[in-house]
């Protein structure tokens, strides 16, 4: 039974991933510090179905503390999802983002090196591309990040290259593109929009609604991560995990209105610094190396989120 350490496993993508790993008979240890960026209550709910299972363990700890990492013994694979998240908050507190996202990644790579762990999957971000009109973005694009969060993700990729080169660690950096679905963080647009529309509250819309994103359903992202865990062909790769489709903000709001059968109250605001106008993934490399094939249409994914939201609404208050 392969033992996987998942950092940030109590979070949105992490808890969906843990469920999939356990279904495939992996042993899973989660390390999470239950950061107060959003309520602990939701993270506890995310983990509730795993607690008590013999093949699951939880370490409440900090990836920057080697003593916390060393509580995980016999690890074969690290999937590093933990990070200070969000573009706008990173502009307000760039030093903290550098500390957690870069120093934390360095610490995990040292843990991998000293323990002889040879498979390291890293959650990077489409934000590393910055403002780039050459869409869809492929992995060899020139990178010009425009937020501290984005720069920390690029730093993590380059640290991985160093450890792969020096110590033979297989490092796979997966650039996620606007992941959504059941369990989504409350600070992200789809979650915020559903909550506000259902409660007859105004939703903040930055700009004229023409910005667009490559929305990727969480189960499609998870399938890409699972394939990366088993990948053995090369020692260092950077791979987009997107949906290869773009949806404007105006189109997204309309789709959410259809899903919950209610109209949105729009609070139009100025565009925010650090936000990029468009994200759009070229996924040909993921298809070739990982057999990646995102198949969830937007309306299907939004309905899955809506059903989860209604089920968990008391937890999400």
| Segment 267-301, tens digit of pLDDT | 988 887 777 889 999 999 999 999 999 999 999 99
pLDDT reported for residue 317: 60
Does residue 88 fall inside a structural domain? Answer: yes
Domains of the chain: total: 1
The token duo for 270 is 């100025």
Does residue 186 fall inside a structural domain? Answer: no
Residue 234 neighbours by CB under 8 Å, 6+ apart: 170
Does residue 187 fall inside a structural domain? Answer: no
Out of 149, 215, 280, 292, pick the active-site residue.
149
Does residue 170 fall inside a structural domain? Answer: yes
Residue 82 backbone phi and psi in degrees, to 5: -65, 135
End-to-end CA distance of the chain: 39
pLDDT confidence tier of residue 81, bands split at 50, 70 and 90: very high
28: domain CATH number is 3.40.50.720
Does residue 29 fall inside a structural domain? Answer: yes
Does residue 190 fall inside a structural domain? Answer: no
Active site residue 292: no
Does residue 193 fall inside a structural domain? Answer: no
Evaluate if pTM is beyond 0.85. yes
Apex 86 CA angle, 64 and 58, nearest 5: 40
The token duo for 182 is 């059941």
Distance between CA 75 and CA 108 in Å, rounded? 12
pLDDT reported for residue 284: 98
Tell me the residue range of the domain where 90 lies: 3-180+215-242+281-295
């Amino acid at each position: 039974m392969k033992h996987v350490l998942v950092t940030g496993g109590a979070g949105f993508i992490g808890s969906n991933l843990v469920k999939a790993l356990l279904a495939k008979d992996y042993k899973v240890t989660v390390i999470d510090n239950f950061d107060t960026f959003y309520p602990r209550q939701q993270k506890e709910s995310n983990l509730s179905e795993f607690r008590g299972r013999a093949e699951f363990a939880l370490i409440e700890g900090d990836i920057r503390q080697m003593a916390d990492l060393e509580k995980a013994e016999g690890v074969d694979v690290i999937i590093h999802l933990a990070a200070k998240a969000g573009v706008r908050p990173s502009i307000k507190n760039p030093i903290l983002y550098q500390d957690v996202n870069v120093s934390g990644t360095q610490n995990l790579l040292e843990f991998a090196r000293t323990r002889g762990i040879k498979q390291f999957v890293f959650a990077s971000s489409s934000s590393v591309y910055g403002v780039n009109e050459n869409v869809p973005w492929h992995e060899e694009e020139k990178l010009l990040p425009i937020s501290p969060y984005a720069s920390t993700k690029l730093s993590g990729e380059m640290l991985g290259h160093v450890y792969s080169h020096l110590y033979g660690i297989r490092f796979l950096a997966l650039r996620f593109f606007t992941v959504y679905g059941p369990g989504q963080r409350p600070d992200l647009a789809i979650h915020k929009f559903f909550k506000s529309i259902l409660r007859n509250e105004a939703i903040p819309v930055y700009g004229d609604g023409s910005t667009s994103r490559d929305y990727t359903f969480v189960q499609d992202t998870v399938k890409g991560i699972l394939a990366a865990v088993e990948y053995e062909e090369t020692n260092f790769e950077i791979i987009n995990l997107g949906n290869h489709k773009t949806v404007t903000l105006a189109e997204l709001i309309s789709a959410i209105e259809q899903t919950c059968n209610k109209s949105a109250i729009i609070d139009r605001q100025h565009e925010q610094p650090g936000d990029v106008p468009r994200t759009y993934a070229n996924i040909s490399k993921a298809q070739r190396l990982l057999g990646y094939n995102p198949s969830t249409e937007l309306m299907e994914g939004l309905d899955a989120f809506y059903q989860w939201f209604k089920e968990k609404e008391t937890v999400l208050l």
